[in-house]
Chain A
Amino acid sequence: MTELSSRPLRTGSPKRRASERFWDDIRCPGLSPALDEIVRLSAVLPKKWAVRAYKRARDRAWVLFVGGTGTGKSTLFNVLCGSALSDTGVERPKTQGPIAFVHRDCALGEGFPFPEVQLRQASPEATDRLPLQGNPGQLFCVHHTEDRLVKIVLVDTPDVDSLEIRNRLIVEDLYLLADLVVFVTSEEKYADDIPFQFLKRILAEDKRCTVVVNKSGALLQNEDVHASFAQQGVTLPAHRFWILPFAVGKPQDCLPGDPSFRAMLAQLLEDLDPSGVQDLLRHELSRAHRELATETLRLVELLGVEEAAGKQWLEHLDVFFRSSCRTLLDQQERHLTEEHREAIQREIRKLYSRYDLLGGPRRALAQLVRAPLRALGLVGDSKSESHRESLLRIRERIDLGPIQATVDGFNRFVLEKLSPRTEMAPLYQRLRDPALALTQDAVKEIVWEEQERLAGWLEATFDELARGIPKSKEWGIYSTSILWGGLILALETAIGGGITILEAVLDSAIAPFVTRGAVELFVYHELQRIGKELGERYRAGLLAVLQKQRDRYADCLESLLTPESVLTQLRSMGRDAPAQ
């Protein structure tokens, strides 16, 4: 004879199937009050969808016995099943895990929506193992061969109110499978809050439900219970409400004789006959569909609220980012203007000097005039410096202080003003990750890198200039020099009526300065061009640190938003539910 199989029908698979992994991508930063509801919905919706898919593939009505510990669920279950499948007794809580009474031909295993629950099978003939207490994490399936119950799965569940929290969690999950709930309470417990809240939920969700007050004394009337519930705003279904007496002795023997029990049983059998089953299934399917559509679209709506809050957050971040950039630039702009311009000016002049036709003679002349003055101590020595040296000098003198200070101020602002207030919000936790804020050393490194890049660009530019300026410019310089020289000569000739020796001598003294003037003109243009581009690059380099920090925060937020693809999928699931 078959014994309780130790080989499970369905092994514990990873928490989700591949097609359901997108549920893991549902995230939110916690910037709005929607956080709690999002957490709740994203926990329960995957289960509900899995249940729906499972039930659509099968034509089975699930009847669940649900209620508080000690109310007699298992006793009733056994009477209905016709044998002691589920263990009863004075120890509480008794039922530790769900026990199903199901037709042999009914394969529950495939696609079972709770991967963490193992399905194990048993046959009623294996009496040495029955009755069962059940195991958390396992659904024991006791098989029968009664064809009239082929479309029905009867399940006895653990309690909803004992000190064993695990029990309640199992019931919460299996409840999603139920097409009909037989809610069992007792005379002692019908006004207990925790089971009452569960019943309230069943009725609010419009699940088909039969309420049984078990183990009652002779005095308890329907009105007593109805009145008690009505005071709390709950209306019990009048025609689906039964009070069963306390069965003195063996309930299996006593109960069937009780008129209330017989009436209840008759109703139940009506529920479970073929048309009744179809009606149950139809009702539950349409109810579940409505609920799923509403809740899925609600989740999408709430995620939308979070996304909008996220966008606003980014805007605030950028506003402060831009103002920090402005402050930093204002402080550092002066530094750039003073230091770099000098060095570049010197450099460009040096490079262009070769185009100064009379540069040599002029310099010699200048040396000659300066010598005695230098001896008298009236004029200082001019130092010359290579451009590499000058760039290094500039870099050494860069004050990291303002940059560090701006970054620190920015980080403080984000934590003080942009962080959610509640610790439960994911963004709250992430913003406090010590690795998120740039350290002093990281800032230094970035600034150095940018300076290197700048120096490299300057080098490249000067190299290019050194190779030679465009021919057009070269001829421009020469022609300007000649033109100006010619102009002066022409003026002298026109005014003075010719050029005397003295004038010629003077002209030759002036000439080098004329050529220098021509070069200076072109130097000025070059300086403007390079200076402008240098200014832009310098500014960008300066802001690179702040930009990097800002990007880190933006990425942090982005990583906490649900991807658009998931939202689209949820939206289509919510709208097209019946078609799936």
Chain B
Amino acid sequence: MSRHIQELRAELKQIRRVLEEGTLLAHDPELNRALALGVDEIIEKAESEVSGNLLVGLVGGTGVGKSSLTNALAGHPVASSSHRRPHTERVLLYRHVSSVLPSVIADRVDLLHEITHDAEAIAQIVLCDLPDFDSIVPSHRRHVLDFMGSLDVLVWVVTPEKYADGSLYALLQEVPKSQGNFVFVLNKADLLFESVPPSEGYDRLARVSGVFAQHLTSHGIDSPVIYCVSAEQMLEEKTAAQWNQFPLFRDFLFQRREVKEIAAIKSANLDVEKRSLLRQLDAEILRIRSLVDVLDRFVREVERDRADWVQVGQRAIRSWVFGLPLEQLASQRSDPGQTLAGPALLMAMLARRFGGSSGEGYPVKVEVAGCPEPIAPLAGLRRELDRFADRLTQRLLQAKLPQTLIDEIWRDIGIEDRWARLARGLEETTDALVLAMLVKRRRGFRFLQRIVHGSLYGLFVASLARGELLSAVVQRPSVSNLLTLCVDLLLGLFRATGVAALGSLVMLQLFLGWRFFLRHKKWLQHRTQRFIETLEQALVRVWESEMDELLTACRRVAAGRGATVEQIEGLRGAGRKE
């Protein structure tokens, strides 16, 4: 196999792999399938043994004389021709007995009519007389198009009447074959010489072939090779008139070609076929480029508005956190006994009892992800995510991208799952921070309370006891003196002064206890406030990171698509002639 064919095969297999991956055309499986089939066909042709046969097809409109040309080339009548139009319906194959047809043709028995010969000199050539492509019978054109794929050399047959017909030039540009394998034949040239002097005949011939060549050039055929022939003149007179280039044409067609040359002809056609196939991707490539552009611009837009959506997040989170029973959580987590003592502790217990708290041991759980509808303050976050999706979809639709492609992008970016992920993230972060909320023991504070209350008790005792008894105990500490002091203290409780002192003690203790309790509450509030701030910051970070991930996903999708397009463009671009 030639190097060129090997390279071509490798390129095609690469294209096949890209198509198999399915990412480029996931939204248009039909096109993907059609292209894959087309690529497979070309690969098959490239891999099939170069049989040494050259398939030459006579292509032309109805009435141009393809069948007469076939007969003239064969040297005897093989194809049926008629003045009735259109005539040829099936493809006539004129081949050597030993030549093997490619399976894709051999299978089309319905389309073919074979005639074999044993002329060794032209064993290489399989001559194909095709139906017309421009008559009122649509199936003829279909047969021609079906069969074209198998031909190696195309002989385009025209007449002095039909060489400017639009349908010829339309087909010329449609056929994915290499121009180098096109030959043009102006048949019925004898009509130009009828009833006029030869000089005028030659003049007409020159003008016709000149204008014909001009038309071909203006339709992209560089330096067309044109033979001016008359098949009928050959058939009738057996020798060519001076102006009849039929012998030249025949020699050109039937020349002995090296295997290398035949391979070059075939691979040139495969090249053009490959490029023609890839041109189907042109529209797709434009679409993908447009998609990448939209995604890039959208990501930039969202980045530009970062301050806004962060603020929205902050607001929503603040509002939500505000609604959380954090103080309740804090007070549940804290044991008043750790920080309070005496009357303050009593007040705290009373507050708890009558304050309506649930008194459950375990902290209240924060529910976000499990809720069917987002809790009111967090609706703002959900809305922001929805807005992201809405705006992106809007941009994609404005760029005229098909809905199937847009759905695919959504799946790749994973927009649907984002809210669930965000909700889970918020819940987990909150739970983690709440659990970590340690309440310090305020030993110093408790100690202070004990000191203060103890001092008050001391003062009380001092006020109750008589001075001489106290000094007696201090100077001569003995059990009897102590007992005397205690009895005196007890008796003192029932005196008027004792009652007053007791009253003062109670009022002062309560008052101080109240002040301690208030201070403790304030301290708790302060701590809760700090915790709220920490929690808010953490949650805003969760929100920001979720949005950043979304943007990263967009960038990733854009980069991925861009890369695939570059790949395809690279395959197409190598050695392409425009």
Contacts and interface: CB of A to CB of B under 8 A. Distances in A.
B38 interface: no
Given A90-B192, A192-B135, A408 B394 contact: yes
B412 interface: no
A162 B403 CA distance: 41
A368 to B, nearest CB: 24
Given A162-B166, A165-B166, A192-B62, A249 B219 contact: no
Given A191-B135, A434-B398, A409 B161 contact: no
Contacts, number: 142
Contacts of B390: 405, 408-409, 411-412
Contacts of B219: 163
A232 B215 CA distance: 32
B393 interface: yes
Contacts of B166: 161-165, 194
A71 B161 CA distance: 7
A29 interface: no
A432 B159 contact: no
Interface stretch (B83-91, B118-126, B431-439, B441-449): B83-91
Interface residues of A, number: 53
Nearest to A254: B195
Contact of A92 (B167, B211, B386): B211
Contacts of A408: 387, 390-391, 394
Interface residues of B, number: 49
Contact of A163 (B83, B165, B380): B165
A202 to B, nearest CB: 15
B336 interface: no
B164 A432 contact: no
A468 B162 CA distance: 99
Given A163-B169, A194-B134, A411-B390, A189 B161 contact: yes
A416 interface: yes
A429 to B, nearest CB: 9
Interface string A181-207: 000001111111110100000000000
B386 A192 contact: no
Contacts of A91: 207-208, 211
B160 A193 contact: no
Interface string B337-357: 000000000000000000000
Contacts of A232: 136-137
A229 B204 CA distance: 33
B174 to A, nearest CB: 14
Residue among B135, B168, B215 facing the most chain A CB atoms (10 A cut-off)? B135
Contacts of A434: 398
Nearest to B309: A401
Contacts of B161: 69-71, 92, 186, 188-189, 215
Given A189-B63, A399-B380, A415-B397, A404 B387 contact: yes
B387 A163 contact: no
A188 B162 contact: yes
Contacts of B397: 412, 415-416, 419, 432
A68 B208 contact: no
A402 interface: yes
Contacts of B85: 187-188, 190-191, 228
A432 B400 contact: yes
A387 B88 CA distance: 96
A186 B136 CA distance: 15
Nearest to B64: A188
A437 interface: yes
Interface string B275-317: 0000000000000000000000000000001000000100100
A255 to B, nearest CB: 14
Nearest to A434: B398
Contact of B380 (A165, A401, A415, A437): A401
Contacts of A92: 160-161, 163-164, 211
A259 interface: no
Contacts of B168: 163
Interface in B52-95: 61-64, 83-86
Q: Interface majority SS on A: helix, strand, loop or mixed?
A: loop
B194 interface: yes
A412 B395 CA distance: 9
A196 B136 contact: yes
A220 interface: yes
Given A92-B211, A248-B195, A68 B165 contact: yes
Contacts of B383: 401-402, 405
Contacts of A190: 85
Interface in A223-281: 224, 228-229, 231-232, 248-249
A416 B393 contact: yes
B546 interface: no
A89 B161 CA distance: 10
A147 interface: no
B548 interface: no
A400 to B, nearest CB: 9
A49 B372 CA distance: 65
B344 to A, nearest CB: 17
Nearest to A165: B166
Contacts of A186: 161
A411 B394 contact: yes
A193 B167 contact: yes
A506 interface: no
Nearest to A415: B397
A268 B548 CA distance: 83
Contacts of B207: 89-91
A194 B167 CA distance: 8
B571 to A, nearest CB: 28
B160 A90 contact: yes
A554 B411 CA distance: 33
B195 A249 contact: yes
Contacts of A220: 83-84
B367 interface: no
A90 B83 CA distance: 22
A162 B134 CA distance: 12
A230 to B, nearest CB: 11
B398 A193 contact: no
B271 interface: no
A377 to B, nearest CB: 8
A93 interface: yes
Contacts of A196: 136
Contacts of A432: 397-398, 400
A195 to B, nearest CB: 10
B204 A188 contact: no
B472 to A, nearest CB: 44
20 contacts: A69-B164, A90-B160, A92-B163, A93-B164, A161-B166, A161-B167, A163-B164, A163-B168, A163-B169, A188-B159, A188-B162, A189-B161, A191-B86, A193-B134, A193-B136, A228-B86, A401-B380, A405-B383, A415-B394, A415-B397
Given A69-B165, A186-B161, 8 more contacts: A69-B164, A92-B160, A162-B166, A163-B215, A193-B135, A194-B166, A219-B83, A432-B400
Pick the 8 closest A-B CB pairs, nearest first: A92-B164, A191-B85, A70-B161, A188-B63, A415-B397, A249-B195, A408-B390, A412-B390
